Amino acid sequence: MSDENLTPEAPVTGQGRMDVAWGANTGDEHPDEVQRASTPQSGEIFEQLYTPWTGQLNPRWMRNWSILRHHLLGIFKKGHRPWTMPTRIFILIAFLASLSDAGMTLLSGLVGSSEFHSLFGVSRDNLYGHVLGFFPRNVLYYPIVAALLVGGVISEDRQHGTSALYFSRPISRFDYVGMKFLSVAMIQALVVLITYVLYFLAEVVAFGRGWAWMVDIFPMFLAGMIAGLLLIFTYTSIGLSLSSVSTGRFFPGIGLLAIVFGTKTLASIVKNLFEREILYLISPYDCVAHVGQALIGTQTTYDQYSWTYSLVALVAMNALALYVLASRVASMEVTRE
């Protein structure tokens, strides 16, 4: 803009406004430069394209397998159910600690001491002890593993609303709860039963046991396996029922521990004070232990009533837990939670 245009006598042309609107340059630029400035190169940063899919969906077993896989693989790697790091670490610790008798058996085989072997090697009492021994396994390992696992399995679906993700898909409530139950039970089985099998194999390897020994011991081994399954089933059903009535992972975990240890402690106090054992029937651990003692054939530590009472109590407490679990899962919503 030339200086004479700024004098008061200059005509009003609107040029000033145009300069403000379009810039303060002189207008003598190269035409190409102007062209580049006014229309920038267009590029596609995001192109929204809907891609159809014509694949086939697999049947029910594949959907159920995906739930199981999601929970099981979550223990080992990312991208599946995000189990918390303390849970993973504790499972590893419990797994290694549960292998202590296998390690001692291998050691006794190497040392060649029969006294050492009688303490730690495979026997009726030691098979019972691996699965149902109270200290340390059912104080420090198995109930805590169960508590860490069941804590958020169902409650977090309520908390985060992820139940809608399941039930708006062709997943039935039975399949949902069944696969959750199975996955929690399988992770516990990794700690309780896989280590039990490894213990048995350690004896075979360390002492070169033959088929005759294996066939001889097998009924005991199988009884221990069944006792372990009972223990896992009981902890899982009680834990999941607590998880189904909660919206956080703390209450179900602490609730399971409170039930397992609270009932046991109460029954122990009553026994010590009044010499009455009947209260052990409300303790899940003691009921499983009593039935397990009968199954494996080791000496019973409950003298005042038959193991069948414990079995009935065990069935009753599992039935109650499964009833609560089923009714609470049936009430889980799709449209809102």
Partner 1 sequence: MADEPIIQTKSLTKAYGPHVALENLNINIPRGATGLLGQNGAGKSTFLKTILGLIQATSGEGTVLGYDIRNQGVEIRQRIGYMPEYDALNPDMDAIHQVRYSGELLGMNPVVAMNRAHEALQFVGMGEQRYREIGSFSTGMKQATKLACAIIHDPDLLIADEPSNGLDMKAREFMISTLNTMVNDANRSILMASHLMDDVERVCENIILLHKGTLAAQGKIEDLKAIDREIEIHVWGGATPLEQRLLDQGFRVRREGRVMRIAHTREDTTTSILQAAADVGAQIRRMHEYEASLEDLFLAIMDNLGYSVKSSDDLLKSPIEARRVDAPESLGGGAA
Q: DSSP state, 137?
A: I
The one among 18, 111, 114, 169 contacting partner 1 by CB under 8 A: 169
Residue from the set 14, 43, 55, 86 that interacts with partner 1 by CB under 8 A: 55
In whole angstroms, give the CA distance from residue 145 to residue 95. 10
Q: Dig out the tokens for 259 from the structure.
A: 């039930």
Select the span of 54-62, 143-151, 200-208, 295-303 touching partner 1 (CB under 8 A).
Answer: 54-62
State the minimum distance, in angstroms, from the CB of residue 168 to partner 1. 4
Indicate whether 171 belongs to the interface with partner 1 (CB under 8 A). Answer: yes
Residue 140's nearest CA partner among 103, 98, 83 is 98
Q: Which of 11, 40, 59, 208 binds partner 1 (CB under 8 A)?
A: 59
**Nearer Cβ to partner 1, position 166 or 181?**
166
Residue range at the interface with partner 1 (CB under 8 A); choices 8-16, 47-55, 262-270, 288-296: 47-55
**Nearest approach, Cβ of 279 to partner 1 (angstroms)?**
41
What residue type is 335 in one-letter code? T
- # of chain residues touching partner 1 (CB under 8 A): 41
Q: Is 35 in the site for partner 1 (CB under 8 A)?
A: no
CB neighbourhood size of 267 (10 A): 20
- What 3-state class would DSSP assign to 84? coil
Q: How far apart are CA 10 and CA 1, in angstroms?
A: 12
62 binds partner 1 (CB under 8 A): yes
Using CA atoms, how far apart are residues 307 and 293, in angstroms rounded to an integer?
Answer: 8
Angle between helices 195-207 and 100-111 (to 10 degrees): 0
Nearest to residue 237, comparing CAs of 328, 302, 134?
328
How many Cα atoms are found within 13 Å in the side-chain-facing hemisphere of 256?
32
Q: Is 133 in the site for partner 1 (CB under 8 A)?
A: no
Q: Which is nearer to partner 1, 30 or 77 (CB)?
A: 77
Residue 167 is a binding residue for partner 1 (CB under 8 A) = yes
Q: With binding defined as CB under 8 A, does residue 49 bind partner 1?
A: yes
- The least distance separating partner 1 from the CB of residue 149, rounded to whole angstroms, comes to 16
The total number of residues shown for the chain amounts to: 337
Q: Is 86 in the site for partner 1 (CB under 8 A)?
A: no
Q: Is the peptide bond before 284 cis (omega within 30 degrees of 0)?
A: no
Nearer to partner 1, 21 or 57 (CB): 57
45 vs 173: CA distance, rounded Å? 43
Largest CA distance in the chain: 123
Q: Note whether 76 binds partner 1 by CB under 8 A.
A: no
- Each residue 178-207 as x (binds partner 1 by CB under 8 A) or -, in order, gives ------------------------------
Q: Is 221 in the site for partner 1 (CB under 8 A)?
A: no
**What are the structure tokens assigned to 172, written together?**
């039935």
How many helical (H) and strand (E) elements, i.e. helices and strands, does the chain have? 16, 0
From the list 31-39, 56-64, 271-279, 311-319, the region that binds partner 1 by CB under 8 A is: 56-64
Q: List all residues 6 or more positions away from 299 whose beta carbon is below 8 Å from its beta carbon.
A: 293
Nearest distance in Å: CB 243, partner 1: 15
Q: Which of the stretches 52-60, 113-121, 187-195, 227-235 binds partner 1 when contact is defined by CB under 8 A?
A: 52-60
Q: Footprint of partner 1 on this chain (CB under 8 A)? A: 46, 48-55, 57-60, 62-63, 66-67, 69-70, 78-80, 82, 156, 160-172, 334-337
